[in-house]
Chains A and B, each alone.
Chain A
């Protein structure tokens, strides 16, 4: 199965279920990236005369929080952190997972035996408990969060890489290349890797969604990104206190998390269908 980028993109944009997330994901990344240059208010700009403004109040599109900070600025700045955590931790865990998975898939024997059993066993653990313990004990910060989210999310990619490698390894053309005397490195980088890459990309996209969600849990519970720095999770930190009087403080950041995570999940699904159209009908 060779994958042509233009045709994948065409199929991706053909359905609204592919088009919407394909447009949304770059947009939110650019918006959050440019956040500080887009807005008239600094994210830490405190304005005690304009606390708890409702959305659209006094030039604040999404209102202000309990000390008068602009909610839109906070959401965009929080998005920088949350997206950064999602993207970087996914990049690292994808690299680890792919390497481990290929090794396990390529060589039958002890390595595969050990790796697959360990992955299956780790996947059975209640990960969030472990994640929170680590976050609570280690020094809080972006680096720590990225590290621990990576630690609990490489297994899924590894499993995909492993099973895909095994499938590709058994294909006739790979057998032929091996029979012609190609070395391991040549088979791995020229035959296996390009062919398992689509599945890896799909898995990584879904992984970003999960990482953003995990960050929001840890930060919401107070063990992630620490105030006054914003992240999508810690914006909801105090929101419960003000739920009765100022519900938008909880609703808006949460809605942004949901929207973004849904879009990454939809993008992953749409990519899967676009890369392998035969799945669509099944």
Chain B
């Protein structure tokens, strides 16, 4: 991450776009060579003839050479026509957008949990460096980092839904749950699961950055001048340590998306992660490619923005 040079950030952005193109090409080729032809859903339909099948293939553009299909697809991606789902013919972009809200809500709730816990744990470790608290927080962060998200979800469902019956086991869309309370009860466990597994992303960097700041002279001076340690934390430490945390947000988003993929599956949460897995299972390739591209673009834009923001916010990088 380290390099905040503006030229580097822009260059990296350029390479990411190239890479995105490469990934899209590879993904497109792969999905078209994959077993389970998009036509297979029609072949078993009653009264299907070879003629009609060819017609459908033509209608879907499947009779053209692969590179033309790719260019057609790429053109569509850039003009907002992301193709149509094999399953119900609805537009891919529309499907993704309709699943996005659920993922954003889950992501924000998880962000709140992981950011506050991570910040707290990192600060505690840095302020008590080398002591028991430091050891305990770093071991906790290693454990959280090592938890398979799906398993933590299953354990939470078992403890809080099956045994204690505090929360529902999932199935957010069940009728009668549209009230705020019902909604929050559904959100609690997935958000906690996703939030906890991503705590280490924040806590480790916070521990490092805060540790570095504490070693600086200004903190020692402030302490010598008799400022209470509480004020030191607020004024110097947080400001100094939060600045280099900005690009960490760029690292956080891929973690969050990958985590959401699994969390949404375990809790039947109707977001884009579950959409992706469902589509993979149904070999609904336009949607699979759509989500793949969408998440990659999202991560690419946000990580580049985070790096640029860091560049703007930290005057030392502009020298």
Residues of A within 8 A of B (CB): 17, 117-118, 120-122, 124-130, 132-134, 136-137, 209, 213, 216-217, 220-221, 223, 233, 236, 239-240, 243-244, 247, 250-251, 254, 257-258, 261-262, 265-266, 269, 281-282
Nearest 3 A/B pairs, CB to CB: A254-B151, A128-B258, A261-B146
Q: Which of A127, A265, A282 contacts B145 (CB 8 A)?
A: A265
16 residue pairs of the A-B complex, CB under 8 angstroms, read A121-B16, A124-B250, A124-B254, A124-B303, A125-B19, A126-B254, A129-B257, A129-B296, A133-B27, A133-B280, A133-B288, A217-B148, A247-B158, A250-B158, A251-B158, A258-B143
**Chain B nearest Cβ from A8, distance in angstroms:** 20
The answer, yes or no, to whether B299 is at the interface (CB within 8 Å) is yes
Question: Is the Cβ of B146 less than 8 Å from the Cβ of A117?
Answer: no
**B2-44 vs A, Cβ < 8 Å mask (1 yes, 0 no):** 0000000001100110010001000100110111000000000
Question: Is the Cβ of A130 less than 8 Å from the Cβ of B292?
Answer: yes
Q: Which of A129, A209, A233, A254 contacts B291 (CB 8 A)?
A: A129
Question: Is the Cβ of B261 less than 8 Å from the Cβ of A128?
Answer: yes
B residues within 8 A CB of A243? 154, 157-158, 162
Question: Is the Cβ of A133 less than 8 Å from the Cβ of B258?
Answer: no
B residues within 8 A CB of A213? 146, 148
- The CA-CA distance from A282 to B130 in the complex, in Å, is 8
Consensus secondary structure, chain B interface: helix
Q: Which of A125, A221, A266 contacts B23 (CB 8 A)?
A: A125
**Chain A nearest Cβ from B248, distance in angstroms:** 12
CB-nearest residue of chain A relative to B138?
A269
The answer, yes or no, to whether B209 is at the interface (CB within 8 Å) is no
B residues within 8 A CB of A137? 30-31, 33-35
The tally of residues in B whose CB lies under 8 Å from a CB in A reads: 53
Residues of B within 8 A of A (CB): 11-12, 15-16, 19, 23, 27, 30-31, 33-35, 129-130, 135, 138-139, 142-143, 145-151, 154-155, 157-158, 162, 211, 250-251, 253-254, 257-258, 261-262, 265-266, 276-277, 280, 288, 291-292, 295-296, 299-300, 303
Question: Is the Cβ of B148 less than 8 Å from the Cβ of A133?
Answer: no
Q: Which of B35, B139, B148 contacts A17 (CB 8 A)?
A: B139
Question: Is the Cβ of B254 less than 8 Å from the Cβ of A133?
Answer: no
Question: Is the Cβ of A129 less than 8 Å from the Cβ of B258?
Answer: yes
**Chain B nearest Cβ from A194, distance in angstroms:** 26
